[in-house]
Structure 1
Amino acid sequence: MKQRKLNMQQTNRLNALLHNAQHAYISNEFEQAALLCQQIMAFSKNNPDAQTILSRIDMKQGQPDKAESDLRLAIKQHPRHPGLIACLGTLYREQGNYLQSLTYWKQYTRLCPRGAEGWQALATTLCDLSRWSDADTPARTALKLAPKHSPSHANLGRILQMQNRYDEASVYMRKAIELAPDNTKGLYNLARLLMETGELDEARQRLLQLLEIEPEHANAIYLYCRHTKFTAFDSILNIAEDILSNESLPSRNRGIMGFSLGQAWADLGDYDKSFAYYKQGNQHFRNEIDYNIDDDRRMLEVISTTFTKELFHAHADSNRGKNLIFVLGMPRSGSSLVARILDAHAKTVDTGETDTLGFAVHNILSPGEAFSEVRDFPFPNICHITPKLITQATTEYSNALHAAFGKHARYIDKTLYHHWLVGVIHILFPKAKIVHAHRDPLDNCLSIYSTSFEGRFFKFAYDLKELGGYYQIYSELMEHWRTTLPEGVMYEIANESLIADPEGEMRRLVAFCELEWDDSFLKFHEKRGVVKTQSLSQVRSGISNKSIGRWKPYEKHLQPLIDALGDAIQQSR
């Protein structure tokens, strides 16, 4: 039914009600805002502005399904209403449905090209999808439309950082703080950038500056604790304890404090307290995730069946990958140290940990679907891969490396979950060098257990029994690669051997990678450069034996891990 046209008096009343409803919503007076919207609907049925406010209230009050249902109904009647479109874009992003969110933010920017907030939301959603280069243009558009908007400078800085354009990123991040000295997100991102580029002193200063503004910023506390050696229990740790014990705060924030306090008490030499806090941190993280180790066992079975000597032989006749070195292993296994050593060569570049290969592989194995987890890959599809698809994946991967790092003679990819993709790597790039970094299982697993990871690939890390079980799966997987890959494709280096004989191990590693030796490898820790991993402090300090036997002070707490590791402990020694 066609809605009747409002007269001037009704229009004025409608505008006044909308103004008051919006003001009430902004003031968190949701009941009053909803009441006003119902009054609007009484004489302006299906009013899209009122429906937008009502749906935002539903989202705030934890009713996303109702919000989605009402918004979809409203948008059928008002398909070009910016408020409804933006509301759906926000709703889907909050639900983690980034592809759907992206659709609506693209539509919004077409309708409202002069609205900086739409371009900013589009850029942010692309960041959620790790599409950093795609996010660059909308982020710059938002900044052009709102040049004094501090978050827009910070957002572009983060996007540039993720494209390894650190000098440019620093400029925008510092501008963000200049425009808004209390921009805690900007301060945090700048501190992370400074950590990654080795400017640790200024990074700590920025974190302390942030904590003066927002003392309970959990990520800032963790980053500070992670890269600070404590000699006494200080005020920051008191705040961390308060956060950990506050049941009203998000579980993840409380978990991060468990890891922070565990690190601090290890510095202070009380390993029982240290483990107790690590355990609390891990429990909070484990409670927040959905993980079943049987899924990884099934993936191991599928991979073992799919990737055979015969399959590798069928794809052996190619020179693809001569410029690639893949360094992989468990998290905290010494892979960052190995990559840093290789990066000391003048003709190599360390690309760090990225999803670049994951996306390229996903696009040929599961085209049209969103990349979520490696375990979702239909690995048997690789048996039917065509030369065209191989070219698609290798070109996509190579182009992404060139765009992010420029052209170099050799690229070092250190993405950790690539131990699952060794077979795919060898099929796509038969001439690539694969380096497997490994470490004593107990030291390795304790180091994982004491680390707060970011990302979706570490779900196994937060329970000692599951961690030991996953390590067993990983050990079986690496044994499969040892027995099926052609000779000379994969080189294995133990962290303990590298510490015991640095130059000898380095020379063997360099020879395997077909790099020319020079003494710069021995001074790898002196090279300026970017390190993005949790090991960023350690790898800049050179080779040390401090990490060997780290598990021993915690031994009485580790029996579930020891039992789960089983014979993997002896097999590694």
Structure 2
Amino acid sequence: MPPHSAAPPAAGNDNTHVEPRMVGLPADAIPKMHAVARAIRDGAVPVAEALLGELLASTPEHPEALRLYGILHNRCNRPDDAKAVLQRALAQRPDDAQIHNDLGSALLGCGERESAFDSWRRACELAPTEPMPWYNLGRNLQLEGSTGPAVTALQHACTLAPDFLPARILLGDALAHLGRFDEASARYRDALRLHPACGDAWRGLANIKMRPLSDSDREQLSTQLRRADIAEPDRIAMGYALGKVCEDQARYPEAFAVLSEANARMRRMGAWNAATFRDYVSAVIAASEVLPEPLDPNLGSEAIFIVGLPRSGSTLFEQIIATHPQVEGASELSDLGDVLRDESLRRNQAFPRWVAEAGAQDWHRLGRDYLQRTARWRAQRPRFTDKMPENWLFTGVLRAMLPGATIIDTRRDPLEAAWSCFKQQFYRRPHFSCDLADIAAYLQDCARAMDHWQRIAPTRIRTCSYEALLVDPEPQIRELLAFCRLSFEAGCLEFHQSPRSVRTPSASQVRQPLRRDTSRVANYGALLDPLRQALQR
């Protein structure tokens, strides 16, 4: 969900009363400003740029024209340009809350995190009754894991703009991440009263997995899905939610049918290519075979990576480790992938093609970059977890980049893990989870890569079984902590009591004691035979 910017009204050209933001503009420029706002709103970038070019040619430093240009640059992913023009606007109107609000988005895009939050907070101070600065502040606090302060900001936004659905949904998400599930459910249901076919609200309710949806919810979902006038993303999200309630109510054929339909719709938005991905994994494995000896074998000892297939118990293992007083649970961080992406851009070569050219100094630099980007997660505790599942792809090069890091490879019964992925909506596209054969192929690629790297570096990589943890928790938890070079803490056995924010779909599950009755696939019988066959290939 992109950050929001406040633009002038997009309709109405009555110039008998000049809006305060338009003061200083010629009368014939005001309709053009409204036209720019409409063009930005509608995504008509060439129209907006042409009109702004005309406006800035005649009034080159008008702050509202500059602000609109900043909004357009932000929408077009040009944060450096947005920052430059918004700072020019701010020089003329230093107490303009809307400019501060838009500048925050530009600064964040430039990687200036602290300055971005300063801008949003300043906007909230200058215009405490305007909802958008509170929304942007709360949204970005939530994205970076500062869930408690995010709730406060989003509550302000909801109070000021009760009909603004994105604020209600994000507030529900933040409350769920804190374990405040009754409050989260209330926010999602508030959204549904405004928009009964709001897919994000149904997604939020379905993700509170320990609170099954009701018969009434199932009937309402079925009714909404029969409508012809709902947006495709809403239809897809409601399909996953209906699949969840059908499974909870033992309506297994119906659950399979609606989940298959939802996944088919997701796949049409971007199909996964299993053969191409298999070749990529083979290239990654080959590239990591020969790496230089690290300059500092302890670099990255602060980091505990938790990798593997989604829905394999990774959130549970992170919750256990993050309950330890020496560890901060950072959840799913993009930083490792971002570091390697930026290096690929610098070298003008895609990963892993440049790996063979990288020397020990390069890997040391990249490791230091990652540690600098993640430093805020060590402000209170010396160790931290990074639970981005797809970081398994980078496990091979970590022995050169962050040789001191600990890597936990989470595994679950393949059939259960694969079916759990199929039931969960993932928003990145294309995604392997939309087709049972693709899930099986992805699982096998992940396993072959991790098995290979575990043989090479058994002291750095530990394979952890979800089922083994359920059967005999304490010995497994003791061994896990010891592998992470952590002392045993009895509190880790009571991980479900931890108040930390959990920002994954498993947020409600890890706040419950361990349960052994998590198997679901037997209920589907022959419906899952194609998946069973694919996993055996």
Fold agreement, TM-score > 0.5: yes
* Code of the aligned partner of 1:380: R
**Counterpart-to-counterpart distance in 2, 1:397 and 1:470:** 26
The structure with the larger Rg is: 1
- Please name the residue that 1:488 is paired with: 459
Aligned to 1:174: 155
Identity of aligned residues (%): 24
Please say if 1:433 is aligned against 2:395.
no
1:233 aligns with 2:215: yes
Query: What is aligned with 1:26?
Result: 11
Select 2:479's aligned residue among 490, 508, 523: 508
Structure 1 distance, partners of 2:82, 2:229, is 29
C-alpha displacement of 1:82: 5.1
Q: In 2 relative to 1, CA 79–417 (structure 1 residues): closer, same or farther, beyond 3 Å?
A: farther
- Match of 2:493? 522
Distance 1:352 1:416, change over 3 A: same
Displacement, 1:561?
3.0
Residue 511 (structure 1) shift: 1.7
Change in Cα spacing, 1:396 to 1:539, as seen in structure 2 (3 Å) is same
What is the rounded CA distance, in whole Å, between the counterparts of 1:501 and 1:133 in structure 2? 44
The residue matched to 2:385 in structure 1 has which SS? Answer: strand
SS of residue in 1 equivalent to 2:390: helix
Unpaired runs of at least 5, structure 2? 1-7, 16-25
C-alpha distance in 2, partners of 1:395/1:177? 40
SS in 1 for 2:517: coil
Query: How big is each residue's C-alpha offset from its partner over 1:476-530, in whole Å with a ceiling of 9 and x where there is no partner?
Result: 22233234x3231100011111111212211221221121113222211122211
Change (3 A) 1:303 1:102: farther
How far does the alpha carbon of each residue in 1:316-370 deviate from its partner, in whole angstroms, 9 at most, with x for none?
Answer: 752112222111111101111111111121111111101122223333342399x
Give the aligned partner of residue 164 of structure 1: 145
Q: Provide, for residues 425-479 of structure 1, a one-character-per-residue CA deviation record: whole Å limited to 9, x for no partner.
A: 22121121111001111111111111112345x6111122222222222222223
Equivalent residues of 1:285, 1:462 under 8 A apart = yes
What residue identity is the alignment partner of 1:378?
F
The alignment of Structure 1 onto Structure 2 pairs a total of residues equal to 519
Aligned counterpart, 1:306:
287
Q: Quick check: 2:205–2:213 contact (8 Å CA) kept in 1? A: no
For the pair 1:453 / 2:426, whether they are aligned, the reply is yes
Question: Could you tell me which amino acid in structure 1 is paired with residue 489 of structure 2?
Answer: D
CA drift of 1:243 comes to 3.7
Q: 2:127 aligned to 146, 167, 176, which one?
A: 146
- The offset of 1:90, in angstroms, is 4.3
Question: Which SS does the other structure have where 1:514 is aligned?
Answer: coil
Name which of 340, 351, 355 aligns with 1:361. Answer: 340
Q: 2:396 aligns to what?
A: 423
1:185 to 154, 163, 166: 166
Alpha-carbon distance between aligned partners in 2 of 1:146 and 1:297, rounded to the nearest angstrom: 52
Q: 2:470 aligns with which of 479, 493, 499?
A: 499
For CA contacts below 8 A with separation 6 or more, give which structure has more relative contact order.
2
- Whether the 8 Å CA contact 1:255–1:283 is kept in 2: the answer is no
Provide the aligned C-alpha RMSD in A.
3.3
Q: CA contact under 8 A between 2:347 and 2:354: conserved in structure 1? A: no
1: CA distance between counterparts of 2:104 and 2:390?
Answer: 27
Match of 2:384 in 1: 411
Moved more, 206-215 or 344-353: 206-215
Contiguous gaps of at least 5 residues in structure 1: 1-21, 34-43, 370-375, 568-573
Distance in 1 separating the partners of 2:71 and 2:526:
48
Structure 1 pair 108/425, CA: closer, same or farther in 2 (3 Å)?
A: farther
d(CA) in 2 for partners of 1:126, 1:331: 32
Contact 1:49 1:83 in 2 (8 A): no
Matches within 5 A, 1:72-471: 80=61, 85-91=66-72, 93-94=74-75, 105=86, 108-109=89-90, 112-124=93-105, 133-227=114-208, 229-230=211-212, 232-234=214-216, 236-289=217-270, 291-308=272-289, 310-311=290-291, 314-315=293-294, 318-367=297-346, 377-386=350-359, 388-455=361-428, 459-471=431-443
**Cα distance 1:466–1:73, how it changes in 2: closer, same or farther (>3 A)?**
farther
Match of 2:20 in 1: none
Tell me if structure 2 keeps the 8 A contact 1:252–1:288: no
Q: Which residue of 2 aligns with 1:475?
A: 447
